[in-house]
Amino acid sequence: MGACTGDSGASAFEDQDRRSVITGVVSWSTAANNSAGCGGLTGVTPLTLYRNWIVKTTRSWGAKIR
């Protein structure tokens, strides 16, 4: 299973300790043979690369985040 065209920005989850944790954001997807659609490759941007920016930005908005 993978993402479909139009799914960019959706959450990507990973099972950790018997619970689902958001670990990334869908960036792009393809169907078979690199065409538009579903079921091919899915690119995910890992949130760990942007964690510092996410925390700094959400705190500036008044959010209480660890």
Q: Is the pLDDT of residue 14 over 90?
A: yes
Instruction: List CB contacts of 28: < 8 A, sequence separation 6 or more.
Output: 8, 42, 43
Mean pLDDT of the chain: 90
CA–CA dist 52, 21 (Å, integer): 18
Query: What Å distances lie between residue 54 and 5, 8, 15, CA to CA?
Result: 26, 18, 22
Return the minimum-mean-pLDDT range out of 10-14, 41-45, 62-66.
62-66
Contact 24, 44 (CB under 8 A): yes
pLDDT at 39: 84
CA distances to 1, 25, 32, 53, 55 from 50, in Å = 26, 11, 30, 5, 9
pLDDT of 37? 83
